[in-house]
Structure formats: C-alpha cells, structure tokens
Amino acid sequence: MMKGRGVFFLLNLFLVTMHGFAANVNVPALELYTHGSTEGGDFGFVSRGELDLLVEGGYKFAGRVELNYFSPSLEEAATSGSLTFKSASILLKEIFSLPLDFSYFIGENATFCSGDLFPETFGSLPFTTRYRGFLTFPQGVIYDGLHTLYGTGMKLDYSRQKELWLLSLFLYQDAKVDIPFEPGRYSLDFRGALNFSRLKLEAFLGATYPAPGSTLGYLRAGLLFFAAEEGVEFLAQIGIPRWSPLEDSFSIDLFYLLFEPRVRLGLFSIIPTFFWRPSYYHQQVTEEQAFDVNLNLQIGRPPLTRVNGGLEGNFSYQIESAGSAQSDFQIKVSPYLQVETSGVIWETKVNAKLWPFALDELIEVFLAVKAEF
C-alpha cells in the first residue's frame, strides 16, 4: 500500500510541476509473454506481463514520469503484480543557448550498448540482435545491452550535429550496487555515439566509488560496433560490465562478448551469434558463466517486412551455474514466426531441447506480444 501511495504521490507532484505545460499520458511499451513448459509437473502455461505508463510535457523545459507494471505470473496478478516507480526526469534543453541539454533524473535512465540509442535518438532503423531479452533467456539473467544505469543524479548531453553524434556525461548516486539499496555509492559514466548510414558506434566508460568489497571501486567499459554493406552486416558488443581492479583478476571471465556476422541473400539471412556471458552483470554476480552459439536461418527482413520467420539452432556450454560448479551443455532447435500488425509485434516460438534429452522437458512454447503506442 505504501509503495502505491508513493508512486501516485510522485505522479501528482509531477503533474503539479508541469502545470501550465501540455502534458501527455501514453503507454510507450506493453509486453506480454506466455510461456508453456512442463516445469512443476504437467504441461502448463504461465503469462508474464510488463507495461510502462509515461506522463510527459513541455519542450524547452520538459519533464517526464514513467511508471512500470510487472508481473511474472499474470494468472496470479493480484498477489504477484505491482505498479512501481520506474523513472522521473526534468530536462532543460540548450542551456545558455549552447548545444547542451541538462537533465535531473531519478530511477532508470539509460542502457549502454544495446543498440536502442540509435533509433530512439537518431531515428535510424533498428539493427539490434535477436539474441536478447526474455525470449532468449527465460531462466536466469536476462541479458540486454552491457549496462543499465539506475540511480539519482544529472546528465549532460552535448551535440552540434544531433543526427550524427552525441556525447553524454552521467553523474549519479548508484542504486544498483547494493541489493537492498544503500545510499552513498556514486557513479560517473561517459558515453559517446556516432551515427553514419552504414556504420554505428557507441562506447562508454564508467566508475563507481565506494563499492562493496572493493578498495578502489568498480570500473566498467564497453563498445558497440555495427557495420553494413550490401548483403553483409556485422554487429559486436564488447565490454566489461564490472571490474574491481585489486580484487578481481583480469581475465576473459569479466567480459561481455557478443559477435554477430550476418549474410543477407534477398529475403533469406544466415545469422550466427557468438555470446560469452560475463561473471558480473548489472553490478551483480551472475553465477551462470557460459558460452553460447546460436544459428538463425531467417526468412524476411525485419523491420522492413511485416512477416518474418525462421529456424534457430542453439548450443550453450555452461561453465558454471548457480549452485553448481559442474559444467554441462545444451542443444536446442527453435522455429519461430513473427508478424507485425499496426504497431503490434506478435511472435510465437517453440524450443525443442535435444540435449540433454528428457521427454518431460522436451518442449517449451512462447507467445509474445509487444505493442508500441
């Protein structure tokens, strides 16, 4: 009850602050996932849902509050779902008549090197990998980009050619370092992005101090690289989400490595993905270090074609998993179909686990609905 009161207090405070400006209320994202498996006994379905509610207004002096509803089981939404605060920000554009934007923010603000920055900021076509999010990682850590910023602080964006490049500075109290949250951990991040027609680059460098269990604090860095030529594309996400220099030995275990070459033959594409999972992600220990190889044989060219489908073959070598130091590997095959209709993306996917073979764990079924308003 107190959580709900706090959320609506912040919403009311924002509306009062924005009095006199045109305020818009919209739903920027709605995601529904129905996951069918034999987990827990007989074959059954569990539906996961997430919705963002955004209130924003103003241009030169702009503000926004974003609320989030999430439930891992909509069938039990009365007890498992909750409306929570996601983010709030006040933006002042072109301060001192310079190409410099200042914003004060609370909550989630940016995800580095996911690729989403380019369509959102520069208006380019999406080029991100399919190998991300809940459909790819239904159990354990959900990987999507190298680092997500969450805290209270300020951001400066500088650009003289807003369609071509962007430099950003983030200075904030980091709320992701400790679970549960403890105040007094501070972070500084620099991010730069270049947007050319056939080349995209994004890089970041950051630090957190003080940090639990670390004398010098945490360091992080990453790079996203995307290049495209006629019939050939290449995507790379390379970085270290967290490194404590004196406490962590510098090794490949620290790295987030994703390489994805793509060969386009008309509407047919061959897309292998190689992914090394890091030992730390979002400032926390993952306990599931693994190397994945995924081969996607795709028909269609999203987002240019409205109907897309294909077959994925996946090999995952688990070096270390939560609660077990034993190595193992899995092989699965996944046909999928994706249809876009009036701002809604429908996708159905079936995972057939071929190894280790167990009849009661052979099939997983997914139905995903993503809507943008």
Q: How far is CA 148 from the centre of its chain?
A: 7
Q: Which two tokens stand for residue 105?
A: 């923010």
pLDDT classification of 80: cutoffs 50, 70, 90: low
pLDDT of 126 reads 92
Task: Give me the sign of the Cα torsion angle 147, 150, 154, 159.
Answer: positive
pLDDT classification of 2: cutoffs 50, 70, 90: very low
pLDDT of 360 reads 75
Task: Give me the sign of the Cα torsion angle 282, 103, 113, 336.
Answer: positive
pLDDT of 1 reads 38
Cα-Cα-Cα-Cα dihedral of 347, 353, 359, 363, to 10°? Answer: 0
The pLDDT tens digits of the residues spanning 90-116 come to: 889 888 888 999 999 999 989 999 999
Q: How far is CA 287 from the centre of its chain?
A: 19
pLDDT of 77 reads 60
Average pLDDT in the 351-356 region?
89
* Average pLDDT in the chain: 86
The pLDDT tens digits of the residues spanning 279-312 come to: 999 989 998 889 999 999 999 998 889 999 999 9
The pLDDT tens digits of the residues spanning 131-187 come to: 999 999 988 899 999 999 999 999 999 998 888 999 999 999 999 888 878 889 999
Average pLDDT in the 263-271 region?
95
pLDDT classification of 55: cutoffs 50, 70, 90: confident
The pLDDT tens digits of the residues spanning 192-229 come to: 999 999 999 999 999 999 999 899 999 999 999 999 99
Helix, strand, or coil here: 1? coil
Residue (of 289, 293, 213, 202) closest to 251 by Cα position: 289
Position 79 pLDDT exceeds 70? no
CATH of 94-371, one of 2.40.128, 2.40.50, 2.40.160, 2.40.340: 2.40.160
All structural domains of the chain with their residue ranges: 94-371
Average pLDDT in the 331-337 region?
95
Task: Give me the sign of the Cα torsion angle 111, 143, 291, 366.
Answer: negative
pLDDT of 40 reads 59
Average pLDDT in the 253-257 region?
96
pLDDT of 3 reads 47
pLDDT of 41 reads 63
Position 14 pLDDT exceeds 60? no
- Spatial contact of 308 and 335, defined as CB atoms under 8 Å apart: no
**Amino acid in position 216:** L
Sequence-distant (6+) residues with CB within 8 A of 252 are: 276
